[in-house]
Structure 1
Amino acid sequence: MAKILVIEDEAAIRRVLVKILSEENEAYKVEEAEDGLSGVEKIKNEDYDLILCDIKMPKMDGVEVLEAVKKIKPEIPVVMISGHGDLDTAVNTMRLGAFDYISKPPDLNRLLNTVRNAVDRKELVVENKKLKKKVSKKYEMIGDSDAISQIKEIIDKVAPTDARVLITGPNGTGKELVAHWLHEKSDRSKGNLIEVNCAAIPSELIESELFGHVKGSFTNANKDRAGKFEAANGGTIFLDEIGDMSLPAQAKVLRALQESKIQRVGSDKDIKVDVRVIAATNKNLSQEIKEGKFREDLYHRLAVILINVPSLNERREDIPLLVNHFAAKIASEQGTGQKSFSDKAIKLLEDYNWTGNIRELRNVVERLIILGGKEVSETDVKLFASK
């Protein structure tokens, strides 16, 4: 159940807002505060999914409340309620981190859409925080080969900056690990890391997915929806398989990078975004540019820093470490005892042609743990790891 706090000194308006929100959605639990001071006290002691806050109030005005929230619980979205004379102040609160503002008297549809979007955004932030607790172990970069050591060194230098990074390399090499390390070691690590697989989204939906849409902009667009760029505001967006993005979407991404602004599909309203962009591809973008499939100007915007992740065949010395890592991880996931691999078994795995790279190696290790003996032997590898 989403908890909403309404901070408004005018009792009549406060009652209307509480009534509208309570009746709109049974999943909303709405509480109220009659001034900024009491509102801030509630925020200190309770967890809320959204705050609706008037601007002009006695004791403590809405701007002061917003500043307090950003210090106490910055993840809570704050929607400002402005009278006609407060409009300039309301716009300024957006620069201070307000989610949006609503004019008095509130338009019902705009109010409800704003509330829904803000609550959705809060849920997304909470979910990403949960994932972050697991991310360090999930996205370990295993290996001490020269190639991997060089990548780790580049990450340490680049991560603290806002420089855009283009990660290249074959499928299954771990390009997403590089993106996660760049984000975790950056000053944006407290913000969201939003991942978008450009190859998995139909071309007709990619713009809506990235930039959001407004109600009625296309069939089944039943409500306003924020896109991935907005969700990543203050954090990082990872555009995986960007070589598969359509040219129209590329043009909009280019504008977002140039101007730090986006427009939702069906809207001409600019929305400012503060997002670091990391992209990845398994394609040769220079060739794609020659064939007219990828914008050269976008390539140069993205490729400020280039990181190439080598194939597993180019870093065979890391295979023993990777095998032991996967064996321990799989045993933990399946709740079974960990199996060791004989030296001859490891040697055979080092000599394989790993066309599927790290992803293929992990699958083979899992197969050998399930089907092999107490210690995975050379014979097990020959029987169960064959192509």
Structure 2
Amino acid sequence: MADAKPTLLIIEDDEGLQAQLKWAYEDFNVVIAGDRDAALAALRAEMPPVVTLDLGLPPDPDGTSEGFAILNAIMELKPDTKVIVASGHGARESALQAIEQGAYDFYQKPVDIEALGLIVERAYRLQTIENENRQLAEKAGEDKTVLGSMITAAPEMTKVARTIERVANTNVSVMLLGASGTGKELLARGVHDESERRDKAFVAINCAAIPENLLESELFGHEKGAFTGAVKTTEGKIEMANGGTLFLDEVGDIPLPLQVKLLRFLQERVIERIGGRKPIEVDTRIVCATHQNLEAMIGEGSFREDLFYRLAEIVVKIPPLSERAGDAVLLAKAFLARFADEMNPKVKGFAPDALTAIDSWTWPGNVRELENRVKRAVIMADAKLISSEDLDLGDLEEEEAAAALNLKAAREQADRKMIRQALARSEGNISNTAKLLGISRPTLYDLLKQYDMQA
């Protein structure tokens, strides 16, 4: 119900103090527990957002072993719980240790009810804010997806997506330049899905994977009897994509004689099947991709300059994963969720060392390498959390920092990269992001404002 009282769990073995605290918090649904078993049962049943915890509980009322055992159990069961610990007998060190292990705050005994009440109210306010942040982060999760299915929080990839969205509804040919594994086919499909051709066919062909003597037939089709084995008339990929989009992957591998025929299609929008004599009008949009340096190939004479300019009316350069700060973790979490659901449901996430390794690895194989490593790790994992060892990333290579003449610019670049990585790892939660970065929430808000960044 909307007007239900918030729940407060008080873990305290002194019956007199139990009654006093329960009376003091009449605005709360107060649940009392006097030992570890009762505390954990209440935690599971009530899921209280805030807990007050006396570290000295039976059977160790003069020590802290039971209190710390309960704190650790709470952090494992519900890590976002705000636990306020009591430090008795001048044991301030124990309270500080508890905070290091996840407690929110502490109070001194004997209890000052009014002071403790302020701490409890502050904890509830923070819990409310964090819940709102979490809900916003879940909504923002949709914002991390661009072009329908590509996950990114990196400005570099967001810029690529915006470019594709702008050119999608034109009929210009688009060339995607990027290393292997950067997601070129996914972006090509994004061009198609964002265009008015979305209801027609999207056809993809890898020009490097088909032998030269078969590539012409694959692209342009053939008539029955055109060559040995041509037992029927077959449409080529260009014709199959009529009204839609043809994605030519590794276009740099098209042999020179076939480049001439492809150029004619781009100029006149007609094709002739192998063995055919009748021109066929085709309305097919071309999106192509390559990891090769086509301009160098033009200089060597292995790629036609006129074809290059027909294919590259719009050129989109795709950054490697190593230059997309924070994206590796976002993508890894998405891959883990998908593969765990399909292959190993006991896997629930990544251990901290795995997240550090994912952030630090250079990913020479880009998104494809990341996907393969996560898939293998999920299949082979015995524990609930994937470790860096499961990912088989080995020793992290030392990065050679580029010399930066402008210290302020270098610092800003480093700040932006670390903030994006921390936001990705904490899934947009401001409090957790600030904690990861070792700064206060107001400082993080100031940096986000200063660098014009969004959580």
Q: Which residue of 2 aligns with 1:347?
A: 356
Indicate how the Cα distance of structure 1 residues 248 and 328 shifts in structure 2: closer, same or farther if over 3 A, else same: same
Q: Which residue of 2 aligns with 1:18?
A: none
* Contact map agreement 1:368 1:385 (CA 8 A) in 2: no
| 1:298-325 CA-partner distances (Å, limit 9, x unpaired) | 0000111111111111113211101101
Give the alignment's TM-score, normalised by structure 2. 0.53
Q: 1:360 aligns with which of 337, 357, 369?
A: 369
Q: Which residue of 2 aligns with 1:68?
A: none
| 1:86-106 CA-partner distances (Å, limit 9, x unpaired) | xxxxxxxxxxxxxxxxxxxxx
Indicate how the Cα distance of structure 1 residues 216 and 176 shifts in structure 2: closer, same or farther if over 3 A, else same: same
| 1:230-260 CA-partner distances (Å, limit 9, x unpaired) | 1111111101110001111111111001001
The correspondence of residues 279-294 of structure 1 with structure 2, limited to 5 A, is: 279-294=288-303
Q: For 2:266 and 2:356, locate their aligned partners in 1 and report how far apart those are by CA, in whole Å.
A: 47
Is residue 375 from structure 1 mapped to residue 392 from structure 2 by the alignment? no
* Contact map agreement 2:344 2:379 (CA 8 A) in 1: no
Is residue 325 from structure 1 mapped to residue 323 from structure 2 by the alignment? no
Q: Which residue of 1 aligns with 2:394?
A: 386
Letter in 2 for 1:266: G
- Would you say how many aligned residue pairs link Structure 1 and Structure 2? 250
Could you tell me which runs of 5 or more consecutive residues in structure 2 were left unpaired when the two chains were aligned: 1-144, 396-455
Give the alignment's TM-score, normalised by structure 1. 0.62
Q: For 1:309 and 1:361, locate their aligned partners in 2 and report how far apart those are by CA, in whole Å.
A: 17
Could you tell me which runs of 5 or more consecutive residues in structure 1 were left unpaired when the two chains were aligned: 1-135
Letter in 2 for 1:376: I
Letter in 1 for 2:263: L
Is residue 265 from structure 1 mapped to residue 274 from structure 2 by the alignment? yes
Letter in 2 for 1:239: L
* Contact map agreement 1:139 1:177 (CA 8 A) in 2: no
Indicate how the Cα distance of structure 1 residues 364 and 139 shifts in structure 2: closer, same or farther if over 3 A, else same: farther
Q: For 1:186 and 1:138, locate their aligned partners in 2 and report how far apart those are by CA, in whole Å.
A: 11
Q: 2:150 aligns with which of 126, 138, 141?
A: 141
Q: Which residue of 1 aligns with 2:57?
A: none
C-alpha deviation, 1:183, in angstroms: 0.3
C-alpha deviation, 1:293, in angstroms: 0.8
Is residue 234 from structure 1 mapped to residue 234 from structure 2 by the alignment? no
C-alpha deviation, 1:379, in angstroms: 4.9
Q: Which residue of 2 aligns with 1:157?
A: 166
Is residue 202 from structure 1 mapped to residue 211 from structure 2 by the alignment? yes
- Identical-pair percentage: 45
C-alpha deviation, 1:353, in angstroms: 2.3
Moved more, 204-213 or 330-339: 330-339
C-alpha deviation, 1:334, in angstroms: 2.0
Q: For 1:283 and 1:329, locate their aligned partners in 2 and report how far apart those are by CA, in whole Å.
A: 32
Indicate how the Cα distance of structure 1 residues 337 and 214 shifts in structure 2: closer, same or farther if over 3 A, else same: same
Question: Helix, strand or coil for the counterpart of 1:333?
Answer: helix
C-alpha deviation, 1:214, in angstroms: 1.1
The correspondence of residues 162-311 of structure 1 with structure 2, limited to 5 A, is: 162-311=171-320
The correspondence of residues 110-125 of structure 1 with structure 2, limited to 5 A, is: none
* Contact map agreement 1:147 1:310 (CA 8 A) in 2: yes
Q: For 1:173 and 1:351, locate their aligned partners in 2 and report how far apart those are by CA, in whole Å.
A: 18
Question: Helix, strand or coil for the counterpart of 2:369?
Answer: helix
Q: For 1:138 and 1:363, locate their aligned partners in 2 and report how far apart those are by CA, in whole Å.
A: 23
C-alpha deviation, 1:378, in angstroms: 4.3
Specify the structure having the higher radius of gyration (Cα): 2
